[in-house]
Every structure is written in structure tokens, then in C-alpha cells.
Amino acid sequence: MDDQNDYVVWSLLQEKTFKYVDSVEVLNEAPSTFGEWFRQRKRWAIGAALWVKDYYGALIRSIVNHPQLLTASILLLFPSLPLLATSFLL
């Protein structure tokens, strides 16, 4: 998560643009054990925290200028939030 976000935020701050390419294929290998899965999630969480620390000011400025980004930002940082919220409704 953090590598892509770092590249996207850096690019947007530099006013770069992106192009969609539909012919790209990505290989994804899921962890096969709980320990591997946990280490991966821990690494991602640390990376995400460092990313937020590095871009905190830019994120706040973007949300102030574009308030609609707040919902997307919250879901990006906490992807299981909708599931958690619905569990309280059941």
C-alpha cells in the first residue's frame, strides 16, 4: 500500500498525470501461513503510518481544498471500516 500511495502523492504534488493501461498483468502471491500474513500486515501498517507521517501536511491541505476526499481517505486508511460499521447494525 505505501509504495503506491507514496508514488501517487509525489506525482500529484508534482502535478503529474496518469494514463490507464488495460493490458498490464500483475502476479499476486498471498501469504500461505498466518505468521506470514501477520508479518505482511504489520509491514504494511508500519509503511502506511510512515507514509501518513511524511505526507500529513499535504493530506490535510488536500482535504481542506477538496472535502470530498475525506471519505476516500478514511476508507483507504481503514478498509474494513464499512464491515465493522455494519456489524454493529446487525
How confident is the model at residue 2, as a pLDDT? 57
Q: What pTM was estimated for this model as a whole?
A: 0.55
- The 10s digit of each residue's pLDDT in 39-81 is 988 988 888 888 888 888 887 887 788 887 778 777 877 888 8
Residue 17 in this model has a pLDDT that exceeds 90: no
52 and 77 Cβ atoms separated by less than 8 Å: yes
Q: What is the mean pLDDT of the chain?
A: 82
Residue with cell string 460499521: 85
63 and 73 Cβ atoms separated by less than 8 Å: yes
